[in-house]
Amino acid sequence: MRGRKIKCVVWDLDETVWRGILSEGDDVKLRPKVPDIMRGLDERGILQSVCSKNDFDQAWSKLDEMGLSYLFIYPQISWNPKSMGVKEIAKLINIAQDAIAFVDDQEFELAEVGGECPNVMCINSADLDGFLEMDEMNPRFITEDSTRRRLLYQDDIKRGKIEDSFVGTKDEFLRTLDMKLTISLAVEGDLKRAEELTVRTHQLNSTGDVYSYEQLRELIGSQTYEVLIVQLDDKYGTYGKIGLALIEKDGIRWELKLLLMSCRVISRGVGGVILSYLVNKAISNGAELFARFVPSDRNRIMYISYKFGGFREDGKKGDCIILKADTSKLRVLPDYIAIEEG
């Protein structure tokens, strides 16, 4: 866990966010400093949720009254074990449990969550002094996407509700979104977000390699490499910069050294579209396209994306699988998404 960064803080309520026990009729009051901590986390792009043993409507109404409800996504307020709630939050956000911190005042609840979710960082609410100074709560860069992260997730939740009520096929729903995928050569202003993507993205990540701002700046100035940054927008707003591709060009041999995408776009078919775009670009330049893939316990879905994208295994270099694209014909891109080259 050394060096990990927290992506979501999950808060208990009674004697943690506020003083008193709501279900016992106490006139609960906010704990000093807690709202400032919450707003500080939000400004850094760290998501927040609630996992509390309470009546949902009563607790949520109290959070709303206190002016805090807007900060939380996927709240889990029920009488179930808190480990169940923490697991559900991780599942809904689509992040690993080692990216979650759980804050509670009771050692029993901390032990229950820690026992069922051993990778979750469990913190006693008595120890909130210095919370915002913890290394785990401090990303190296705070980007435009960071400051808007909660809003981006809340927009995704709205889209999900619209999709759940939609009558028709998946492709028919995607057509209603008027999606636009912008693929651009990265410039220096993109590099903080590019580094952040390599640090934060694990599931839709082809190799797991992390590139620093300084490394990426060197690469964008190279004649051998292309660094592509990908942004997705639709009629409901922007998803932000959600993807990164690093291509090494050696004559007619192109190698995709890294491809990654935010898990927030996993249901939008973006991975296949980006791969088809890159294959067509290679064909248009008379090049062969290869890709590196390093398997992990998290990124199998990326391997499946390559397979569906027409890539086949062509060899190995240590733990790295070398994949080769079928460049015998151009790919037909789906009609539900427009591609714009930045």
Q: What's the sign of the alpha-carbon dihedral 94, 97, 99, 105?
A: positive
Look at residue 95 and give its three-state secondary structure.
coil
Confidence (pLDDT) at 263: 84
**Contact in structure between 74 and 88 (CB atoms under 8 Å):** yes
- Give the C-alpha separation, 102 to 11, whole Å: 6
Look at residue 244 and give its three-state secondary structure.
strand
- Give the C-alpha separation, 69 to 60, whole Å: 7
- Give the C-alpha separation, 97 to 121, whole Å: 9
pTM (2 decimals)?
A: 0.86
Output 167 or 264, whichever has higher pLDDT: 167
Confidence (pLDDT) at 127: 93
pLDDT band for 298, please (50, 70, 90 cuts): confident
Long-range contacts of 62-68 (CB under 8 A, 24+ apart): 62/18, 62/22, 62/28, 63/13, 63/17, 66/18, 66/30, 66/35, 67/35, 68/17, 68/35, 68/38
- Give the C-alpha separation, 82 to 276, whole Å: 43
**Contact in structure between 198 and 258 (CB atoms under 8 Å):** yes
Question: Could you state, in order of their start, the residue ranges of all structural domains in the chain?
Answer: 8-137, 169-341
Look at residue 134 and give its three-state secondary structure.
coil
DSSP string of 265-302? GGGGTHHHHHHHHHHHHHHHTT-EEEEEE---SS-HHH
Give buried/exposed letters for 15-44 (b at 16+ CB in 10 A, else e).
bbbbeeebeeeeebeebeebeebbeebbeb
Q: What angle do CA 201, 178, 168 make, to 5 degrees?
A: 95
Confidence (pLDDT) at 88: 98
Please name every residue paired with 256 in a beta bridge, in sequence order, or none if there are none.
247, 291
* Topology agreement, domain 8-137 and domain 169-341: no
CATH architecture of 169-341: 3-Layer(aba) Sandwich (3.40)
**Contact in structure between 37 and 43 (CB atoms under 8 Å):** no
- Give the C-alpha separation, 149 to 42, whole Å: 8
Q: What is the pLDDT of residues 149-200, one digit of tens each?
A: 999 999 999 999 999 999 999 999 999 999 999 999 999 999 999 999 998 8
Q: What is the pLDDT of residues 82-141, one digit of tens each?
A: 999 999 999 999 889 999 999 999 999 999 999 999 999 999 999 999 999 999 999 988
pLDDT band for 55, please (50, 70, 90 cuts): very high
Q: Note the CATH number of domain 8-137.
A: 3.40.50.1000
Q: What angle do CA 324, 256, 192 make, to 5 degrees?
A: 160
Confidence (pLDDT) at 278: 97
Confidence (pLDDT) at 141: 87
- Give the C-alpha separation, 113 to 83, whole Å: 5
